[in-house]
Amino acid sequence: MTSDNEKKYVCVSCGNPARELIKKYSNTVKPTHCDKCHQITDKYIEVEEFIILIDALLLVSAAFRHMICNGDFKLYWKISLVVLLLESFALCRQNTGDGSNTALYEKGFYMCTLQNIAEYLLITILLILITAIFNMRQLLKVGLPSVTLIILKVVAISNFSKFFLLPILVWRSNTTDFGRNLHYMLVTGHHLCSLIMAYSVVGISNSRLRWLTIILVICAFAVKEYVRYLAAFKLELHIS
């Protein structure tokens, strides 16, 4: 990542900084090409957001770079809110059953939403600490507010994996406990892969210590999941 007065975009293919994504020639507009890999700097600038979101769910690194570094993130903040509500509904339904008790169900939903927000903040803080430990120079250069915003985007994008909770919500009654647990495990695995890739491609991690950084991101994710397990257990006791 670079400061705004320098190159503020990146090539989605290789991550090389770029000053602009398009060039205007009289009556035509053409995309620029990367000075390093010679590919189109950002092939997503004229692509529908839905296609970009699909590529992100398929763990395409170029889509992550476009969404975080080059694109307007306003739509994805709104999608993140939808994902938060979806995840809260799934967690609430897991803890309270079919929701026959309306008052109990609503209370559980609000508490699950607060729990998920706390988890998002926890993983954001842990990733900021990892960045500070291994790349303090870059953090000071870019600035803590900018790095925090970037990591919030990373966390938001990685949470798009929770869209895969929809099938288990729809067909919950037509599967077994083993099937539900396996589904949640696969969603969690996709979420972890998405978090690692999104954090790796934005350019705030130390490339010389890439594998160690990835291991620490996995550890941070494990800490978050452990806190989630404890919180869910206490929440279930509280609302039951």
pLDDT tens-place string over residues 91-130: 777 766 655 556 656 777 888 888 889 999 999 999 999 8
Reported pTM: 0.85
In the structure, what pLDDT confidence band is assigned to residue 139 with cuts at 50, 70 and 90? confident
Which residues touch 209 (CB under 8 Å, ≥6 apart)? 134
Give Cα separations from 119 to 122, 139, 155, 212, 227 (angstroms): 5, 23, 10, 23, 8
> Are residues 202 and 74 in contact, defined by beta-carbon separation less than 8 angstroms?
no
pLDDT tens-place string over residues 149-206: 999 999 999 999 999 988 888 787 777 888 888 988 999 999 999 999 999 888 776 6
User: Distance (Å, rounded) from C-alpha 63 to C-alpha 107?
Assistant: 37
Instruction: Please state, rounded to an integer, the average pLDDT across all residues of the chain.
Output: 84
User: Distance (Å, rounded) from C-alpha 96 to C-alpha 206?
Assistant: 43
pLDDT tens-place string over residues 85-94: 988 888 777 7
The owner of tokens 């600035």 is: 143
